[in-house]
Amino acid sequence: MRLGVNVPNFGPGTDPGILRRWAQTAEGLGYDLLMVSDHVVITPDVARKYPAPFYEPFTTLAWLAGCTGHIALGTTVLIVPYRHPLLVARMAANLNDLSGGRLVLGVGAGWARQEFEALGVAHERRGRLTDEHLAAIRAAWADERDYRAGDIPIWVGGNSDAALRRAARFGEAWHPLRNTMSYLRETWPRLKDLAAEHGRPTPDLAPRILLRITTSPVTGPDRLAGEGTIDQVADDLEQLRLLGAESVLLDPFSGDPGETLHPEAAWEMIAAVAARRTAR
């Protein structure tokens, strides 16, 4: 099972040097994948959670591709309706080619209504637009003479029924975001059924889970996967492996933008997981 790290590409503490240190730290610890988020316009609804500076994901990943040697690079998640699908197809294919085939394209439909309005995209049509754009991206990549796309896996993010149907139709993997273990166990069989309905193989399971290591155990039915003592986190990862997860992305951002001013705490947590992984 591959392990990855979600790197904050936003917030008051983020700059090119910190992004480089994040990437090189993750690669140096033996992680297989690093991913970054996507917003284009930092409207008030976005800024409350992810304040400026916000580094655009394709630009950021191109920078990090040159700062690293082999770690895979991806988006968690690219908001598909924000860009023309042929532009996404081109940028993704070029980045994959220039990085030596390291790109993972995580995609989603988005949520920030004010950002949609600023971009002139209909918020209420975001699900339909996402499906239409994904079909167009697939079609563009099929023309290898023009796009040289290689084999770019699409991970479909989201926890809704629509996201599950989208993963069954378009995804090499389903990329649910920050869930409980019980949700993942209960929902995974539904995706298998949906894929069978579309005559497609079941996508891989590639969840993004919270990473919040505590000194005391976290209990209760609302405990998210990846939350608790290092033993609890290690057990969650083992349970995900047994469930069939091919990749797991650790997300050490707990929601306070001020965390970006002190990334050392997050680096200590990902180092603790890496050490436990090596010990096994």
The fold for domain 2-279 equals TIM Barrel (3.20.20)
Burial 232-269 (b: 16+ CB within 10 A, else e): bbbebbeebeeeebebbbbbbbeeebebbeebeebbeb
Flag the least confident range among 88-92, 105-109, 125-129, 148-152.
148-152
Check if the beta carbon of residue 248 is closer than 8 Å to that of residue 240. Answer: yes
Q: H-helix or E-strand containing 116?
A: helix 113-119
Reply yes or no on whether the pLDDT at 12 is more than 90.
yes
CB atoms closer than 10 angstroms to residue 180 = 17
Q: What is the pTM of this model?
A: 0.97
Residue 91's pLDDT is 97
Beta carbons within 8 Å of 32's beta carbon, 6+ residues apart: 2, 3, 4, 71, 72, 247
* Rg of the chain in Å (alpha carbons): 18
Instruction: Spell out the domain ranges in the chain.
Output: 2-279
Residue 145's pLDDT is 75
Nearest to 207 by CA among 255, 238, 245, 163: 245
Q: pLDDT tens for residues 87-102?
A: 999 999 999 999 999 9
Q: pLDDT tens for residues 75-89?
A: 999 999 999 999 999
Reply yes or no on whether the pLDDT at 147 is more than 90.
no
CB atoms closer than 10 angstroms to residue 16 = 12
Residue 149's pLDDT is 87
Give the separation between CA 168 and CA 17, rounded to whole angstroms: 38
Q: pLDDT tens for residues 199-248?
A: 999 999 999 999 999 999 999 999 999 999 999 999 999 999 999 999 99
Percentage of residues in the chain having pLDDT higher than 90: 95
